[in-house]
Amino acid sequence: MKPLLRIANLSAGYSGEDIIRGVSLEINAGDFIGIIGPNGSGKTTLLRLCSKVLRPRKGKIYFDNKDIFAMDLKGFCRKVAFVSQDISTGFSFSVMELALMGRIPHLKRLQFETRKDIEICEKALALTDSLGLKEKIVNELSAGERQRAIISRALAQEPVLLLLDEPTAHLDIGHQIQVMDLLKKLNHQNNLTIIMILHDLNLASAYCNRICLLDNGNIFKEGQAEDVLTYKNIEAVYKTVVLVNTNPVTKRPNVVLVPKEI
Partner 1 sequence: MNEHLKKKLLVLFLLLGIAVVFGLAQGSVHIPLNSLLLKDNQVIFNMRLLRILAAILVGSGLAAAGIVLQAILRNPLAEPYLLGTSSGAGLAAVIAVILGVSRIYMPLAAFLGAVASIILVYSLASERKKIADRSLILSGVIVSIAFSSIIVFLVSLFGNQALHEMNWWLWGSLQVYDWQLVLLVALPVALGIGVIYLFAQDLNAIQLGEEEAIHLGIDTQNVKNILIIVTALITASLICICGIIGFVGLIVPHMMRQVVGSNHKALIPVTCLAAAIFMVICDIVSRTLFAPVEIPIGVITAIIGAPIFIILLKRGQKVQ
Handedness of CA 71, 77, 81, 84 (dihedral sign): positive
Angle in degrees, CA 155, 171, 87, rounded to 5: 55
Taking the C-alpha atoms of residue 146 and residue 200, their distance in angstroms, rounded to an integer, is: 20
Contact, 69 vs 229, CB < 8 A? no
CB of 113 to partner 1, least distance (A): 9
CB of 212 to partner 1, least distance (A): 21
Tally Cβ neighbours within 10 Å of residue 92.
10
Query: Which of residues 9 and 111 has its CB atom nearest to partner 1 in the complex?
Result: 111
Query: Which of residues 27 and 163 has its CB atom nearest to partner 1 in the complex?
Result: 163
Contact, 212 vs 32, CB < 8 A? no
Query: Which of residues 53 and 258 has its CB atom nearest to partner 1 in the complex?
Result: 53
CB of 118 to partner 1, least distance (A): 11
Taking the C-alpha atoms of residue 115 and residue 12, their distance in angstroms, rounded to an integer, is: 42
CB of 82 to partner 1, least distance (A): 4
**C-alpha distance across the termini of the chain, in Å:** 51
CB of 209 to partner 1, least distance (A): 24
Closest among 241, 212, 240, 216 to 227, alpha carbons compared = 212
Angle in degrees, CA 81, 126, 134, rounded to 5: 90
Query: Which of residues 124 and 237 has its CB atom nearest to partner 1 in the complex?
Result: 124
* Interface ranges with partner 1 (CB under 8 A): 48, 51-53, 73-74, 76-78, 81-82, 84, 87, 89-94, 97, 101-102, 104-105, 107, 109-110, 137, 157
Query: Which of residues 86 and 222 has its CB atom nearest to partner 1 in the complex?
Result: 86
Handedness of CA 161, 77, 214, 152 (dihedral sign): negative
Query: Which of residues 112 and 262 has its CB atom nearest to partner 1 in the complex?
Result: 112
CB of 68 to partner 1, least distance (A): 13
